[in-house]
Each structure stands twice: as structure tokens, then as C-alpha cells.
Structure 1
Amino acid sequence: MRQFGMPPGVLHPEKTRVYVSCIEYRHPCVCPHKARAKYGGLMTKDNNPLCLPSGRLCAALCSAAPVVLPALLLAGCMVGPDYRTPAPPPTDSYTTAPLPDQTASAPGASGVPQHFASGEDIPAAWWTLFHCEPLDALIRQALANSPNIASARAALRQSRENLSAQFGGTLLPHVDAQLNATREKFNGITFGEPQFTEDLNLYNSSVSVSYALDLWGGARRGVEAARSQVDYQRYQLQAAWLALTANIVTAAVKEASLRAQIEATEEIAKEEDAQLTTLKKQFELGGIGRTDVLTQQTLLAQTRATLPPLRQQLDQVRHQLAVLSGSPPSDPSVPEFRLDMFSLPQTLPVSVPSALVRQRPDILSADATLHQASAQVGVATANMYPQITLSASYGTQSLTPAELFRAESVVWSVGAGVLQPLFRGGQLLSQKRAAVAAYEEADAQYRQTVLLAFQNVADSLRALDHDASGLRAQTEAWQSASDALDMARGQYKLGGISYLSLLVTQRQYQQTVVDLAQAQAARYADTAALFQALGGGWWNDPVPETAAVQ
């Protein structure tokens, strides 16, 4: 017998049946065909899924175990390549010719011989090997205040949070609580009874759980890619740390070199000015012609003309040091550097080639990028296979707030869904091919990074050897030019040589002074370049936020 005119969801007067409304059978656990809701029929509380007792709910959940458990066991499968870091180049040396046991020596503190210690480790604070306290203090200030370091640390924290989000969002179930209150108008035309209409309120509270089974490892590959991004940002932090320290050392050495060149040029200009004064007196006495005076004036002007560019370079280096230390260019606290403040390290640790690929931040960053690309191949492959999602919900539903938490208002659902892509216009296959191409690109970039790293080390080693020989030759040239100038000045006073011969000797000496200062600075700068090329020893840093985990 059909009953109309009663609000849906209200118990029948016999207390054993309940009216079924379109609202009720819209719940995913209610089958409109089994409920005969299409015909507006009646259903007892015993066969209404909306009114199942908790014991039968547990039995329904347990009945799904034979299907769910095998699916969970399959979650160990992971499609896509398992990443392995490429092997280093098969070589045990950086250069074709073997390195000498030590470099050449020259007079002075900048000319001490340096010994190459193969296989020895590099200290984290490698710049302390120069034994320059102002340099050490400036670098420590820079590491604490540099915006580049702060930016790299923030990027590392961001990648870690993204990893946590990726893990929680793909590998853990989603649990949500929901509370709804709606008012709507019910129309019986849905059941073929257009004359039946009713305005009603509907209240619903529920907790839902959903979980996507990672049958093919796509989610785990996504987490693997996110973890590789964390590694990449960690090594980028080390790269910023190494670049900052190396740039400060190089800039400090350059400042010291420029100061030496400026001081030498000013001294030469002072001597030339004194000589010009002497020539003017000789001209007034008729001993020489005016041409000699004009020539000396030209030489003095040319010498002084070289000073503004040197001072401009010095100002730029000073500004660079201030900015690198995290201060504005106007900061007067940046220390001044001179060559005699540095001590040349006499022992140079040189890592073996097989260890270099585990030390250089740029190589490790490229390796992390390659690892991420490998994981993305697995993600793209897993997207082509069936995706299974499990879901369940438990809550209450009623027409009044007072009835919301009664036992007869309980509703629940348990479900599973399978999604198998059939036709996407070639999208998934193209995405997989693109991921493979991206992996090949990252692999080529990794190999190029390794080759450039080996080149950097080889160039630095050879530069140190040639710098030592060049400094010795330049020191000899400067000494010869100095002796020749002293002799030429004495001969000129006695009338033994012409002024033109003296002028040539002066120009030679002036050039050797500048070249000597540059040769001395080159040994310090190339020593710092070697430490940078070898990775800088960051793996020995005891500070966890600064040192990467091997």
C-alpha cells in the first residue's frame, strides 16, 4: 500500500517502516532499485541501509576485506626506473702530465713552494689556511648576514614542507568532517507523482575517509621526486655557501693586489716627479734641451693617468666586499686588505677524482635533478595504469537538529572505485615520453657538469704550478729592472747615457712593478680557486643547517 502526504524520512505510524525520499537514496549506499524508491514504496528498518545497526556495519566493512587486503598487498609495486647515481669518469688524475711534488719557489712570502697532498681532506673553513684574521671575521659576518644564504635556506625549508605535503597528500588517507544544513523543496515528480510536493530542512553531519591505493608506485615516485628536490635545495645552499666564501677571498686578494699596484705606481710617479724637477733645473742652466723636460712631463702624466682606473677598480672591489658581507657599500667597517696580511698555504689537499663527484655542490645538485627526473618517469608511467580509490563515510542525517544524533539517523557508506584511462588523445603516452626526454636532458647536463668540474680542478692545479714559475720569473725581472734603473740613473747623472735610454729603463721598471704585484696576487687567488673547485670542504661543517648529509 502506497502512502503519500508524509514528509520523507519520517517513521510510519506502525514504527516498523520508514518513508524513503529522494534525499535518502541519493546517499551512495542506498540503491534506488532495491529500495523500490522509484515507486514510492515502503521499506522496513531491518532492510534499510540507512538504519543498519553498528554490528551489521562492522560486518559490512569486514566483508570488503577479501577485496581490499590483496589490493593493499600490491602496493609494493613501483613502476619506472630505480635511480642510481652515474659512475664517475674512469680516471685517477685530473691532468695528462703528472703534477710536481711541489711548485717553484721565489723570494718573499708570496713565493714559498706549495706541496700537493693527494687524497687529503679539505677543512670546512678552508679560508683560515691563509691565516688572515680580518678575512676570517669578514667571512663569518657574511655567512650570518648574506641575503643569498638566507634565500637558499628559505628555499630549503620550502622544499622540506613541500615534501611533507606531498607525502601526506598522496600516501596517507584523507579524513574530513562535514556538517551541512540545507532547505529545499521536494517534488514527487521524481517518483511519477507530480502532485506531491513538500518543503523540508535537511541536516547532515559525517566523517569521511578516502585513500588512493598506490598500486603502481606513482605516489611514492612523486614523494621520491619531492625528496630529490629537497636534496637539490640542500646542495644549492652549499653552493651558495661556497660561492660566497670564495668570492670574498678572491675579492680580498684582488683588493690587496690593487693596493700594491696603486702604491707602486704612486711611488714611481713620485720618483718621476723628482726627476722632472731635476731636469727643469738642468734646463734652466742650459745643460739639456727643452725636449727632455717635455718628455719627462709626458712620462709623469702617463704614470698618473694609470691611477684613476686602478682606484676605480679598488672602489668597486670595496663595494663588492661590503655587499657580500651583507652590508651597504657605504659601510666603513669592511677591513682593508694588503698582500702582506696573507700567508700562502704550503700544503694543498687535492681530492681524488672519484671523490670529487661526491663533494662538488654543483655536481650533487645535478645528480639530484637527474634523480628527480628519474622519479618523474615513474610518475608518468603509473598514470597510465588503473587507479583504485577506497572511500567510507559515517554520520547522521535528519530533518531536525534534535534528531541529528539519534541512532535511527545514522548513515554510512563504504565504496571502492577503479579508474582506467582508455582514451586521452595520446596525452599520457606523450607525458611519459616527455618525462623520458627530460631524464635524458638531465643526464646530459649531469655529465657536462662533471666534465666542467674536472676541468676546473685541472685548470687550478696547472695555474698554481705556472703561477709559481711565473712569480719566480717576474721577481727576477723586477730585480733586474730595478738594478738596471739604478745603474741608468747613475750613468745619466754622469753623462754616460742619453735621456732616451734612461726613459726606456724607467718604463721597463714601471711595468715590472705592476706585473710583480699581479703575479703575487695570482698565487693567492688561484689557491682559493683550487679550494673552490674541489668543493670547499662543506661536508666537514659541524653546523647541520649548513652541511649537507652525505
Structure 2
Amino acid sequence: MIRSPRVLAMLLGTALSGCSAGPQHPRVDLPLPPPVAAATLPATAGPTQRIMPGRPAPADWWTRFGSPRLDALVARALAANTDLAAAEATLRQAREQRGVVRGAAGPQVDAGYQVERARVSNALSSPLADVTDTLYTLHTSQLSVTYPLDLFGGQRSRIRSAAAATAVAAARLDAARTSVVANLALAVIEQAALQAQVTAAEDAIRSNRDILDLLRRRQALGDIGAADVAAQASALATTEAVLPPLQRQAQHQRALIATLTGTAPGATTLDLPSLAELHLPTDLPVALPADLVAARPDVRAAAAQMEGAAADLGTAIAARLPSITLSGNAGGSAERFARMFATGNPFYALIGGLTAPIFHAGALRHQQRAAEAALDLAKAQYRGAALQAFVDVDDALAGLRSDAVALDAATRARDAANQSLGFTRRQLQLGGVGTLALLGASAASAQAASTRIQAEAARLADTVALFQAVGGTIPDPAPSSAAETRP
């Protein structure tokens, strides 16, 4: 117990000007790739896309696809997606936990009142002055104040750690919004592509049925035999077998879209865009590498985790150093409630306490080393997150470069296959070719149509992947009154 006011004042001054243990702002040397060069991705079968380096991704990047139906689905997802609701709740929890830690670092004030009715033994005297009766009542009320002086920054480190946890939760919410919107856009594109393939398969089935009818008429005239009709019937059945898996996959994508928008599959009719309604964005903004690291929410979350690990190391270091606590209480005690603060009944106490760890069997030392390892882990994870961001951008750009070429080739193949099928059917009607040639032309046409649809969808999907990779932050569609303040 420290009784000297002068000593208490010295300790208070030392604490208020105390230092913080551990690294304050950890940094990681991060190798940056060269900036992406401006380029044009020409395509004869679709819009020309331009890579525009040094520009951030727009916050509402999905609107660049020019589909009001997609925009409406995104709005529903941002308002009702369950993953976003969970991430928002996690952020609110982190904010409140930060408030708890901040409150614990300040003075603690408590009030108390106690009434005691007691009888003492006749062999003992009453504890109350001027009272000889062994039965008595004692009223006591007091106000207590406790203030832990943050001499070596342990409390400040805990506050920094809580603030970093809040920043992690906020960045993860941003990442969840980006992921939900990207997954929704990809599901819409996939569903539109599958629906286009369903339509193409239905067209192929009708075409093969027409050919089968034609062959049966020729068989009735004696121009061809049963083998030709059987071959075409087999081709029709093969084409019909393609349709159910496509319909099943399209239904799965519709169920996925419903889930992403926070509704049960089949509970409501989804207004989905067709593949033709999704327009390819022509401008592709790509941030500079340093800006990309700052923009990607997953990288920001890793940076905040690193900050929190550094704060936890400071807490572990401070735990091995002395701590000082100032406390005091004041009140009154009397046999009657109204006389608790009468002359002679009030009391008070001022206490200063110093605690220093002496021997903990190495636990505090190992705790510090564990915190140092956790900081090294957070640094490695930050480097990994940043490098992954660069990989994602590079992959998306490489995909877009090849997509334009693939779409051109698939378009030429589809047009040529359709032309060949038309010529072959005409020749079959005139008796110039056999069934085998027609079967080959029909199969080639169906395959070329499917490949063309997939190539168009891949170009749209890789554009979504690029917007997701550059990491634009999607604004909160309904900001709450407790908006996050970045620590």
C-alpha cells in the first residue's frame, strides 16, 4: 500500500506519460509487380474492351453490364443476403467489444448500500459505540473508484487490438459484399448461358425431328432403307438426351440466385436477364499495384489482423512489467439510515497498489513468444493475401485476352457449321448426299452453337472476375446510424 500523496502523484505522472510496449505499426516489405499496361482487346464477334490502368473499379461495377434486371437482383442481394447479415452482425459485435475494452481502461465507479441486522453473543461487546444491546442494525453506503494506470501501455495495446478486430470485421464485410455481388453476377451469367444452350438444344431437337420426318417420307417412297431412318432416330435420341442435364443445371442456378438474394428456391418468380441482355463492359479499370493492395478488402483485413497481432504482442510484453492501480472509497456507516453521514460516521480510504510479476514458471515469457509468432504469421498472411490479389488480376486479364480470340473462333465455327448443315439438308432433299453426311453436319452444328454460347458467357464471367479482383468497395445499401469509424 502506498500512503504518501507525493509518491502517488509521481506514479500518476509517470503512468500518464507512459510508453507503449511492442511494435506500433508493423510493416512488411511487399514485392510489387509492374503496372498493367494499357491495351485494347479487339474482337470481331463482340465489343472491343480496353484495359485502363491506374483507374479504380467503380463501386457499382455490375451496372456496367447494362441490365436493369441484374441491377435489381443485386439490390435484393445486398439487402437480404444471409452471409451479409452475418458479417454485419459480426461487425456490430466487434464494435461493442471495442467499447468494452475502452471502458475497462478508464476509471471504474461503483456505489453500494448494505444493511445488516445482527445479534452478538453476550460474552462479546457490540461493535457499535455507545450501544450495549447485543441486537443491532448497521447501515453502510459507499462509493468506490478504481483506476488502473497504464504505465507500460498494456491497456492501450488491448484497445489497439480491439480496434484492429473491428477493422478486420469491417473489411470482411466489404469482402462479403464484393463476393456476394460477384457470385450473383456469375450465377446470372451461367443461368443465362444454360438457358441459351437449352434453347439451342430444343432447336436441334426440332431440326432432327424434321430430318427424321423427311427420311421416313423418303423411306415410304423407297429412296432409302430402314438403316438410314434408324440412324437418324438414334441421332434424335442423342440430341434429346442433352436437354435434361442442361435444364437441371439451369434450375440449380436459379435456386442459387434465389439463395443469394435471400429467398427460398421457388418461393418467388425470378426476373432473370437473357444472355443477349447482358452487355459486355468496354472499359476495364485496373488499379496500380500499390492502390490494388489498399483497395482489396481481403488485403485490408490481413493488414488489420497484422496490426492486431502487433497490439497483442504489446499486451504480452506489458504483462511482464509492473502495473499500478489507484483506488479509493468513501461512505458512511451508522445504526440508523439517516445518521450514516452524521459527524463521525463518514469514512474514506485512498489506496495505491503496485504489482510486479516475479515468478510464473516461464508462462509470461512463452506468452510473449507466442505473440511474436502470431505477428510473424499475420505478416506472412498479409504477404500471401497481397500476392493472391496480384494473381487474381493477372488471371482475369489473361482470361479476357484469350476469351476474345476464343469467341471469334467459336462464332466463325458456328456460322460455318450452320451453313454446312443448311447445304447438307438441301442436298439430302435432292438425294445428293447420304444420311451419314447429314448426321455429321447436324452434330457439328449443335456442338458449334453450344461452344459459341459458352465462349460468350466466359467473356462476361472473366469480366466479372476482373472487377472482383481489383477489389472495389461496395457501399452499404442501408447505412445504419452506428456507421463504422475506421480506427
Same fold flag (TM > 0.5): yes
Paired position in structure 2 for 1:68: 9
The structure with more radius of gyration: 1
Residues 174 and 473 in structure 2, CA contact (< 8 A), matched pair in contact too: no
**Residue number among 85, 94, 98 corresponding to 1:163 in the alignment:** 98
Q: How does 1:126-145 map to 2 (within 5 A)?
A: 126-145=61-80
Structure 1 residue 187 displacement after superposition: 7.0
Identity of aligned residues (%): 34
Give the whole-Å Cα distance in 2 for the aligned partners of 1:187 and 1:328.
74
Give the whole-Å Cα distance in 2 for the aligned partners of 1:92 and 1:539.
29
Q: How does 1:255-274 map to 2 (within 5 A)?
A: 255-274=191-210
Residues 53 and 288 in structure 2, CA contact (< 8 A), matched pair in contact too: yes
Structure 1 residue 398 displacement after superposition: 2.0
> Which structure 1 residue ranges, 5 or more long, are not aligned?
1-27, 30-59
Label 1:116 to 1:376 Cα distance change in 2 as closer, same or farther (>3 A): same
Q: How does 1:337-416 map to 2 (within 5 A)?
A: 337-416=273-352
**2:442 equivalent to 1:500:** no
SS at the partner of 2:291? helix
Kindly provide the CA deviation profile for residues 131-186 of structure 1, in whole angstroms up to 9, marking residues without a partner as x. 1011111111221222222222221111111111100112x111111111224455
Paired position in structure 2 for 1:104: 42
Label 1:529 to 1:201 Cα distance change in 2 as closer, same or farther (>3 A): same
> For residue 403 of structure 1, what is the amino acid of its counterpart?
R
> For residue 104 of structure 1, what is the amino acid of its counterpart?
P
TM-score by length of 1: 0.82
Structure 1 residue 527 displacement after superposition: 0.5
Give the whole-Å Cα distance in 1 for the aligned partners of 2:450 and 2:298.
36
Q: How does 1:454-469 map to 2 (within 5 A)?
A: 454-469=390-405
> For residue 126 of structure 1, what is the amino acid of its counterpart?
W
Structure 1 residue 395 displacement after superposition: 0.6
Structure 1 residue 539 displacement after superposition: 6.9
SS at the partner of 2:351? strand
Residues 540 and 547 in structure 1, CA contact (< 8 A), matched pair in contact too: no
Paired position in structure 2 for 1:91: 33
Residues 88 and 354 in structure 1, CA contact (< 8 A), matched pair in contact too: no
Residues 123 and 540 in structure 1, CA contact (< 8 A), matched pair in contact too: no
Structure 1 residue 83 displacement after superposition: 1.7
**Residue number among 291, 294, 304 corresponding to 2:227 in the alignment:** 291
> For residue 158 of structure 1, what is the amino acid of its counterpart?
Q
Give the whole-Å Cα distance in 2 for the aligned partners of 1:251 and 1:425.
57
Query: Whose relative contact order is higher, 1 or 2, with alpha carbons under 8 Å and at least 6 apart?
Result: 2
> For residue 390 of structure 2, what is the amino acid of its counterpart?
F
More displaced stretch, 71-80 vs 118-127: 71-80
Label 1:463 to 1:548 Cα distance change in 2 as closer, same or farther (>3 A): farther
More displaced stretch, 197-206 vs 255-264: 197-206
**2:21 equivalent to 1:79:** yes
Q: How does 1:318-337 map to 2 (within 5 A)?
A: 318-337=254-273
More displaced stretch, 181-190 vs 301-310: 181-190
Residues 56 and 472 in structure 2, CA contact (< 8 A), matched pair in contact too: no
Give the whole-Å Cα distance in 2 for the aligned partners of 1:464 and 1:407.
88
> Which structure 2 residue ranges, 5 or more long, are not aligned?
126-131
SS at the partner of 1:306? helix
Paired position in structure 2 for 1:10: none
Residues 388 and 418 in structure 1, CA contact (< 8 A), matched pair in contact too: yes
Give the whole-Å Cα distance in 2 for the aligned partners of 1:502 and 1:273.
13
Paired position in structure 2 for 1:228: 164
Paired position in structure 1 for 2:242: 306
Structure 1 residue 448 displacement after superposition: 1.2
SS at the partner of 1:226? helix
Residues 297 and 473 in structure 2, CA contact (< 8 A), matched pair in contact too: no
TM-score by length of 2: 0.92
> For residue 134 of structure 1, what is the amino acid of its counterpart?
R
**2:83 equivalent to 1:148:** yes
- What is the aligned residue count? 479
Residues 238 and 547 in structure 1, CA contact (< 8 A), matched pair in contact too: no
> For residue 15 of structure 2, what is the amino acid of its counterpart?
L
Paired position in structure 1 for 2:128: none
Structure 1 residue 495 displacement after superposition: 3.0
